[in-house]
Chains A and B, each alone.
Chain A
Amino acid sequence: MNDPINVLTLFLFNIVLINIPLLYGTVGEIVVEKAGSLDLGVEGTMAVGAIFGYLAGCAANSMAVGLLVAFLAAGLCGLLFALLTVSFQANQNVTGLTITTFGLGLYFFVGKGMGERWPAMAGSSALMDGFAALEIPLLSKIPVLGKVFFSQNLLVYLGIAIAALAWWYLNFTKTGLRLRAVGENPGAADSVGVNILLYKYVHLIAGSGIMGLGGFYMALNMSGSFEGSNCWINGYGWIAIALVIFANWNPVLAILGTLVFGFFNTLQIYAGALAGAFPGGLGWLNTVPAQLFKALPFIITAIVLIASSVHKREGSGQPAALGLNYFREER
């Protein structure tokens, strides 16, 4: 039970299991930001995707329905954001924050309204099976790493696949490159015939939909138990916004970033166990306040933000027109 290698393996395993929703949120936000829009509504969008995806998944007893509804419900938040900021030229910061307020309000309103009718995840065999660990043949037999990376559930692999796909899309496809042009200089993209409106709408909806999948993941990881005081998303949406910066707007680096942020996030849970298993090397972990681990993702991101503005690097992935509305008549 207290075998040090077991504790370490479980710790590493949980870094991946607990934090993959961050990856979904981050990749979704990268897609949105590459279109030049800063959506601060990640937390609310994930919450909306989570609750509707979970309820639909339970009602239909189907993983696919849950994923689809989570994507669509969160996509609607993206549509709302696009409608207000792209078509109606509303301020992006204010609109995004309002989506968070609204989304969390809706989450609790729906959840509390369900009351006794709230479905238990145990009642849905499809969700239970769909979220169970999948052991990849051979690879899962590797000591430590097999458990950590190759005995995870389906949604972990899906998240990593989406991140890789987004990276390929943004770097190697014509539409992906055009999208980046929209985020860098919409006026120039417009003048060569890129349909700005269409690009923004599609990617804002798709990016938000990906965030919603992350919300659905969190619902399943919390075994679908609804609490009146704490939202499932629990601040992951805000960390995702930070991770976008840390990953320099690169979906593949976001996988790495998720593991780095996830390391601290999980350390606060496992600090005691690790200190117990390795009293010589890691005993000091017990003396570090848990709040420092919680704050670390934000501290690191603040430092990255400041450092990257002090040294204006060449390769910064931040879209030049991020947060600015595009008004065609003022080209």
Chain B
Amino acid sequence: MKNRQPLFHVVKRESGSPGRQALAYVAAVALALAVGAVLLAVQGVEPLTFYKQMLTMGIPGSRYPWRAVENFIKLFVPLLIVSLALALAFKMRFWNIGGEGQFIMGAFWAGVAAMKLGETLPRPAMVLVMAVAGALGGGVYGLFAAALKVRFGTNETLLTLMLNYIALYFLQFFAETKAGWNFFLDPQSARPKFAKFPASAQMITIPIGPFNLNLSLVIALALCALIFAYLNYTKRGYEIAVVGDSPNTARYAGMKVGKIVLRTIFLSAALIGMAGAFHVSSAGVMSASPTNDVGWTGIVVAWLAKLNTAGILVAALLITVLQFGCQTASTTYPAIDANFANLLQGVILFIVLAADFFTRFKLVRRKEAAK
């Protein structure tokens, strides 16, 4: 009999220490930037100059620094809301990777509301109607997958993945079909082109000096606080935690697991749909691909933050700095654009995923085998 065993075995840690985790994050970001620096140097780009430009996002020395901040916010708000919403679903171990599709459906129905009712309603009412239309559009789309999961056990990862592309081509159909019934398009243009929304459907901004504060940022931050309270201080939030931990425990405790899943996924998808509505309303026009990959990036953010609400705020900020910074820096370095941000994002998450292992588990030396 051979009796070879590895020298170490893996044991779950009782509890992770926050200090160790914080260290892992700082190390992950530093290491990713170092990997990026090597890649930049290979391309013949001075890494320090590039990083400086990336991290300052072209704000200092700009003649219109507030414009940069406004554009930053337009990128930040959808990512923040989508990440928060996805974390709700992930907490229940419902793998909603359909953020893209739910965002598109939200944007679509908000667009329908804007084009059909935009001329008749005053601005505050119109923005509210768009938010509700977007939330319902996204929410129902998510609920479809959740209902099948609850009723038949359909694999939600794969189903929501398919629904992303169905939504994308659905929207593209409206973007590319020139026809009399297609109220989305600009009738003046010979080629299919989205018409601008009526003025009342443009997102409300609060002027502070030369800077226009996008109302959706205020709403997104308020949502952060609300979701934090919902998860930590309400019965429904507690139910999400229990179902995520063990559906059987939840059932034993008399909770209606199916109902909780449906409710939470609807809420999650509705928030994503609302983010889609805010996005098109801020842009003032529909787009054939409105998501900016936020459904995917949101998963990265939620995971980086360990589904923790405050952590999501920080992680979403960090990822937006990476993306927006690379976008602005690319004006000086045409070879390097937002894709470099994706690359860095990937490296950061790889390192965090690996580091997680050492915060969740520990290696224990095997005892000498009894002779």
Contact = CB atoms under 8 A, between A and B. Distances in A.
Interface residues of B, number: 56
11 contacts: A91-B353, A93-B97, A97-B97, A98-B346, A98-B349, A98-B353, A100-B296, A106-B346, A235-B165, A295-B170, A302-B162
Given A93-B157, A94-B299, 16 more contacts: A40-B97, A80-B350, A84-B350, A90-B354, A94-B353, A100-B296, A102-B346, A104-B342, A105-B345, A109-B336, A245-B158, A291-B169, A291-B170, A298-B162, A302-B159, A305-B159
A234 B340 CA distance: 19
Interface string B156-197: 011101110110111011001100000000000000000000
Contacts of A291: 169-170, 172-173, 176
A257 to B, nearest CB: 15
Contacts of B354: 83-84, 88, 90
A97 B11 CA distance: 27
Among B161, B296, B345, max chain A CB count under 10 A is at: B161
A245 B39 CA distance: 37
Given A88-B357, A291-B176, A101 B153 contact: no
Contact of B158 (A299, A305, A310): A305
Q: Name the residue in A112, A294, A310, A329 with the highest tally of chain B Cβ atoms < 10 Å from its Cβ.
A: A112
Nearest to A83: B354
Contacts of B344: 105
Interface of B: 9-12, 39, 42-43, 95, 97, 148, 152-155, 157-159, 161-163, 165-166, 168-170, 172-173, 176-177, 293, 296-297, 299-300, 303, 334-337, 339-347, 349-350, 353-354, 356-357, 360-361
Contact of A329 (B10, B172, B350): B10
Interface in A104-150: 104-109, 112-113, 115
Contacts of A289: 173, 177
Size class of the A contact interface (CB-based, 8 Å): 35 or more
Contacts of B299: 93-94, 97
B157 A295 contact: no
A242 B177 contact: no
A305 to B, nearest CB: 5
Q: Identify the interface centre among A87, A97, A235: most chain B CB within 10 Å of its CB.
A: A97
Interface in A56-91: 80, 83-84, 87-91
Contact of B166 (A101, A102, A295): A295
B165 A298 contact: yes
A238 interface: yes
A99 interface: yes
Contact of A306 (B9, B152, B346, B357): B152
Nearest to A115: B335
B158 A105 contact: no
A38 interface: yes
B285 to A, nearest CB: 20
A99 B42 CA distance: 22
B346 A90 contact: no
A298 B344 CA distance: 30
